[in-house]
Amino acid sequence: MSYAIEDYYAVVDTGELHAAMDLLAEQVEFAMLLPTGVRTGSGRAAMYEYLSGRPPVGRKHVLQRIAAAGDVQFAHGAVTESGKGTTGYFVAAMHIDAEGRIDRYQVSFSTEFALLPNESTDQRVQA
């Protein structure tokens, strides 16, 4: 079984951001809790603006845990950049609407804290 949360990160990681927008409800609402602050928005255009504004670094989301409860899906994983190693860890939750699209998305990202206790912090890219 494929989860929308898996599909979303897989498509985003290809760089095909317009294809990623097809996975979102027209009026998707999102909150991203980042080390630089909280970013919130509404609508595909706002999500596209955020994603396309990130620097092109060969970013990959390595999903390590996935769960679902009804219409909500969860993931924990690591973010890698250009094969340099892990730059941080994320926990995400998405609500899936009746059409199977993501209509609410919340993610937190930390450069320091790995949810899984066996994650090696010495694999992180040092700033």
Read off the pLDDT of residues 23-76 as tens digits, 9 standing for 90 and up: 999 999 999 999 999 999 999 999 999 999 987 778 899 999 999 999 999 999
**Domain 4-116 classification at class level:** alpha beta
Domain regions of the chain by residue span: 4-116
Which tens digit of pLDDT belongs to each residue from 72-111? Answer: 999 999 999 886 889 999 999 999 999 999 999 999 999 9
Rounded Cα distance, 8 and 21, in Å: 9
Residue 121, classed as helix, strand or coil, is helix
Q: How would residue 124 be classed by pLDDT, with cut points 50, 70 and 90?
A: very low
Spatial distance between the Cα atoms of 76 and 93, rounded to a whole number of angstroms: 9
